[in-house]
Amino acid sequence: MQKLRFLPSIITALTLISCSTTTAEQYEATALTSYSWQVKYANDLTSQPQPRIETFANTSILNRNGLKPTGAVVGPDDRGLWWTTLPPRPNVDEVEQRKKSQEEAGKPELVKDVKYKLTYGVGNTQQTLPTNYDVYRQVVKAYPQKTPLELTLGVNDNSVEKAEPVSK
């Protein structure tokens, strides 16, 4: 019987961190695609678990609702995203300038990154929250018809975890 005493507090905790839903008729999904050159620095690159990472030049472009953004030169890729031109690769002088004494520098690595966000309106308010690829794609499909979407929000309503068309 002693275990049952904790059940109300477990239910309360689950209620506090549960997800909420909202229906949105106005929405915009964005995907910020970016390229960055990064170089790892460490006293020993093969054995140091957490090398220092320096970011050099980067470029980015903002995708909106799956439409081709002005300035996009690559795409759409296999995820429906558009990309801009590559930033200039750092040369050996630039890489060595950031090296501290006793450190060795790795080779420049091109890193691709995507950050997804969803802006939606409910009544007179607008909210912009981070989201994921699946939500972005759902919005891209729904956007041309302006189909209302049921949005499932994450913990503390700090992200959008899911978007589904509202069946009429």
Q: What is the pLDDT of residue 9?
A: 44
Q: What is the pLDDT of residue 21?
A: 94
CB neighbours (10 Å) of residue 155? 12
CA–CA gap between residue 162 and residue 71 (Å, rounded): 30
Q: How many CA atoms lie within 13 A of 168 on its CB side?
A: 4
pTM of the model: 0.83
Q: What is the pLDDT of residue 17?
A: 56
Residue in the structure block whose two tokens are 């004494």: 101
Tokens for 32, please give them.
């910020």
The domain spans of the chain are 19-165
Contact indicator for 89, 78 with CB cutoff of 8 Å: no
Q: What is the pLDDT of residue 5?
A: 52
Q: What is the pLDDT of residue 123?
A: 79
State which residues of the chain have pLDDT below 50.
1, 6-16
Q: What is the pLDDT of residue 65?
A: 97
Q: What is the pLDDT of residue 167?
A: 78
Q: How far apart are the first and last CA of the chain?
A: 48
Q: How many CA atoms lie within 13 A of 17 on its CB side?
A: 5
CB neighbours (10 Å) of residue 77? 11
